[in-house]
Amino acid sequence: MSSQASRSSIFDGQSVLVTGGTGSFGRKFVHILIRETQASRVIVFSRDEFKQSQMEQAYEENERLRFFIGDVRDRQRLYRAFDGVGVVIHAAALKRIPAAEYNPFEFVKTNILGVQNIIDAAIDRGVRRVVALSTDKASSPVNLYGATKLVSDKLFVAGNAYAGSKVTRFAVVRYGNVLGSRGSVIPLLRKLGPNEVFPLTDSRMTRFWITLDHGVRFVMRVVEEMVGGEVFVPKIPSMKLADLVRALAPEAKIETVGVRPGEKLHEEMISVSDARRTLERDDHYVICPEIWWSGQERPEGKPVPEDFRYSSDQNDDWLDQDRLTTLLD
């Protein structure tokens, strides 16, 4: 066990459940939770029995680790899974933008109806804290996936009002592209050989980037710090996609193909409309809810300017090749 496990943590003695626990985020979160906290039980909730089996073998039947096959669309299954759980991390979602445009209601059923199931089950089962993962695509969305995640964010924020005098509190974490995660462009770029072609949408396109470790540890901090109703946004660097290609596949040929349906030139995590409710802290922002419920403690922070907008092209922090290499190592 890591020496860090001796530190006091909000997870100590808690049963912690991760929806989508076999995904990139879920696997990393579980790994850190098992190694560095005294969580009494860590539950992986997901649909894929094969991935659960692989994960179980990697942990050699760790007595604190449990696996629960289920779908967030299944309300009754969530009620069973949440029994005795103190903390829920909601990482399950349908995410592929083109698939969302062709199968819109499937995304609605998982990313919206599934979220309402989680909210109801958490309140009724007495879960104390729920943190949901969001995406930069939920801010001023232009595609169906982003729209479903925006609705999801609003449902989780409103869930605090639904909870009323109950112990359950909900918060959201919103961040950008995860370096090296499943579905990331990074592995593809690293495989490109000399003179192979990479289809680049637009040389001006920028994106936010965060490492998986940073994302997981930020979520763990949010569980500790949340009051309920906040959307937490970490300060993370930006990089042009063209520079990313040149850094990881310098000998590849770049073919500009144009911005695809549902894509933006630049991503955004805090819109101008959200600025009036946004507080700045040292290494992150907090978007406060529109409406506060009676007796709710308000988070601390410095209000941002009224015309503030946190977008990947107007960022103060940019990745260069050396720093990118360091983050990927």
Q: What is the CATH number of the domain that holds 307?
A: 3.40.50.720
pTM, to two decimals: 0.94
Residue at 326 is within a domain: no
pLDDT at residue number 302: 96
Q: What 3-state class would DSSP assign to 124?
A: helix
Per-residue pLDDT of the chain (329 residues; tens, 9 = 90+): 344 444 689 999 999 999 999 999 999 999 999 999 999 999 999 999 999 999 999 988 789 999 999 999 999 999 999 999 999 999 999 999 999 999 999 999 999 999 999 999 999 999 999 999 999 999 999 999 999 999 999 999 999 999 989 999 999 999 999 986 766 778 778 777 777 888 888 989 999 999 999 999 999 999 999 999 999 999 999 999 999 888 888 888 888 888 888 889 999 999 999 999 999 999 999 999 988 765 667 788 999 999 999 999 999 999 998 898 888 87
Residue at 5 is within a domain: no
Catalytic residues: 137
* Number of domain units in the chain: 1
The DSSP-derived string for 226-239 is --SS-EEEE---EE
pLDDT at residue number 294: 59
Provide the residue range defining the domain that includes 159.
10-176+210-236+268-311
Q: How far is CA 219 from CA 124, 239, 243, 284, in A?
A: 23, 23, 28, 12
CB neighbours of residue 36 within 10 Å = 19
Q: What region, left, alpha or beta, does residue 20 occupy, with left being phi > 0 and alpha being psi -120 to 50 degrees?
A: left
DSSP-assigned letter for residue 109? I
Residue at 276 is within a domain: yes
The half-sphere exposure of 253 on its side-chain side, counting CA atoms within 13 A, is 5
Residue at 202 is within a domain: no
Q: Which of 207, 178, 208, 181 is nearest to 285 (CA)?
A: 208
Residue at 283 is within a domain: yes
Match 């109801």 to its residue by tokens: 120
Name the pairing type of β-strands 41-46 and 65-69: parallel
pLDDT at residue number 2: 41
